Structure 1
Amino acid sequence: MSCGTSRPTLLLAHGAGGSVAANYGPVMDELTAGHRVIGVDWPGAGSTPRATRPLDLDELAHRLTAAADAAGVTRFAVSGFSLGSAVAIRLAARHPERVTALTLTAPFARADARVRLIARVWRSLAEAGDTDTLGRFLLAQCLSPAALAAMSPHELDRAVKETGEGAPAGTPEHTELVERLDVTADLARITAPTLVVSPVDDPLIPPRLHRAVATGIRGARLVEIPGGHLPFAEHPDRWAALLTGGLTSRFPDREE
């Protein structure tokens, strides 16, 4: 997808088991207000056909740069969410001359043992087609305790149904890539101004992994925000302000 024609360009890299619309749709109006936005759905998400082989991080990064090339864009900012942050890191490390700014939300450079275990269960549930259990599992792993507590039983049941049934067909390939990717060596090669957004109650990708990414990128700024792994669901206005402001501004170490 592409929005706008004459403003600075922002590339979007979505997370595992998501899509550009699912992860960035709630903040798209804010993003397109000041930027030309280009997003690419990974295989098996949105209208992109499902992969017939394991996903490759370099190939996903190439899909983003190819979309920019097709739009005639030479330089761009990049926003990566969760798995998409690893794609954005790889892109910024391989093409430093093209990336003007980098915003990474709930990032990880390499999955630790806990994240790998979660990804394996996630993949198994998706492959089994057990949408009810998948929805319950994902809500427990992705939403903050406060967000779950605020839901009525009816709202929770509806969210379970929507989450499980809305999982894209390519979820097994996305989560398999989560288990094995490693962009640790790429961090030191990033030269673009970088903002790391860390949801402090993230149960899926723990904040210690967010901080490790920020520490590994020279000059990166870390901003902590409330909520779990899905800022577009829990705090879309705050997240949108950080995504747009992080392209041009400096932020304190914690957002109140």
Structure 2
Amino acid sequence: MEHFIDAAPGIRLWAEERGAADAPPLLLIMGAQASGMGWPDELVDALAVHHRVIRYDHRDTGRSSRPFERQPYAIADLARDAVAVLDGLGIERAHIAGLSLGGLLAQLLIADHPGRLLSATLMGTCALSTAPYTRPDGTLVPATELPGIAPEVLEMWARPVEDRGLEAELDRRVEHWRVLSGGHIPFDAEYFRALERRIVEHTGHHTAGTAHGRADDSGLLRTEELAANRVPTLVVSAPAEPVFPPPHPQHLAQAVRGARVVEIPGMGHALPREVLAPLAAAIIGHTTGRAAA
């Protein structure tokens, strides 16, 4: 079932839900410049066995409003949009799962709107905290000294994006996913090309967006709030992660009070077919209170 939700003046968000209407709601929060259709159908359907699953398009993605050029906004506004989606669907409390920027937004929800959450799952992100990381041997590492983004990713992000037509844009997006996948799992270019083609069809055009990269990212630290967290939180550790590699997940789990870590073998900063079943099992194990498979 599809919806359009008025999140703020001039901001209308596209959302879709799958699963039983009376099942516990699970809101999926995608990454920067990524449509909600970036959550693969296979994963959404697996989660919908147990949940009323909601995925949505951030503003300036997919079928949602594109206000940035006339109405610039902050990253924190994207977190408020997630709450607006819950409000628009009449959901008082929900499980949430966020990937990349979505994991950052999920931390803002943990910190600022804990009463709206049943649980949180964080993937492919770093802690919104200045707390140091404690190594297994007890030594401390300042948060600012944790490993940075892989050079190959930074080089890819630095390239100018030019409109050379649909197929060339699909080529660029597939190469982007190859770099983000991390190389532990054989890369299936056709799988990601089909995923991106569905996103283009959903969006109605292939123009690449840049709004989220230009949005105000100030005021995001939540060190004290995360340290006082009471929302059941799962952190997914991806061993092939090239953006926030280990020990970022372990640091995140230390920064968010009570969080635990589960590793998905071979996972990077993408959602290839091979990680979908174990990821769904981990999320469902967390949301239902059962140990992850």
Closer, same or farther: CA 83–178 of 1 in aligned 2, 3 Å: farther
Q: CA deviation at 1:39?
A: 2.2
In 2, the alpha carbon distance for the partners of 1:23 and 1:123 equals: 25
The one-letter code matched in structure 1 to 2:163 is G
Aligned equivalent of 1:243: 283
Closer, same or farther: CA 45–113 of 1 in aligned 2, 3 Å: farther
Q: How do residues 185-204 of structure 1 correspond to structure 2 at under 5 angstroms?
A: 185=223, 186-204=225-243
TM-score scaled by length of structure 1: 0.80
Q: CA deviation at 1:63?
A: 1.3
Alignment of 1:30 with 2:69, yes or no, is: no
1:77-97 deviations in Å (ceiling 9; x for gaps): 111111101111101211111
Tell me the secondary structure at the aligned position of residue 103 of structure 1. strand
Q: CA deviation at 1:20?
A: 1.7
Gaps in structure 2 of 5+ consecutive residues: 1-15, 129-143, 201-205
Tell me the secondary structure at the aligned position of residue 42 of structure 2. helix
Tell me the secondary structure at the aligned position of residue 87 of structure 1. helix
Q: Identity across aligned pairs (percent)?
A: 27
Q: How do residues 118-157 of structure 1 correspond to structure 2 at under 5 angstroms?
A: 118=153, 121-122=156-157, 124-126=159-161, 128-129=162-163, 131=169, 134-135=172-173, 137-147=175-185, 150-151=186-187, 156=189
173-182 or 230-239, larger mean C-alpha shift? 173-182
In 2, the alpha carbon distance for the partners of 1:19 and 1:212 equals: 28
Contact 1:135–1:159 (8 Å) recurs in 2: no
1:47-106 deviations in Å (ceiling 9; x for gaps): 113232544232112211111112221111111111101111101211111211111112
TM-score scaled by length of structure 2: 0.71
Q: CA deviation at 1:229?
A: 1.5
51-60 or 98-107, larger mean C-alpha shift? 51-60
Gaps in structure 1 of 5+ consecutive residues: none
Alignment of 1:229 with 2:269, yes or no, is: yes
Higher relative contact order (CA 8 A, sep 6+): 1
Closer, same or farther: CA 40–123 of 1 in aligned 2, 3 Å: farther
The one-letter code matched in structure 1 to 2:41 is G
In 1, the alpha carbon distance for the partners of 2:174 and 2:36 equals: 22
Alignment of 1:50 with 2:66, yes or no, is: yes
Contact 2:110–2:226 (8 Å) recurs in 1: no
Q: CA deviation at 1:16?
A: 1.9
In 1, the alpha carbon distance for the partners of 2:270 and 2:177 equals: 10
Aligned equivalent of 1:85: 103
Contact 1:123–1:171 (8 Å) recurs in 2: no
Contact 1:20–1:39 (8 Å) recurs in 2: yes
Alignment of 1:2 with 2:17, yes or no, is: yes
Aligned residue pairs total: 246
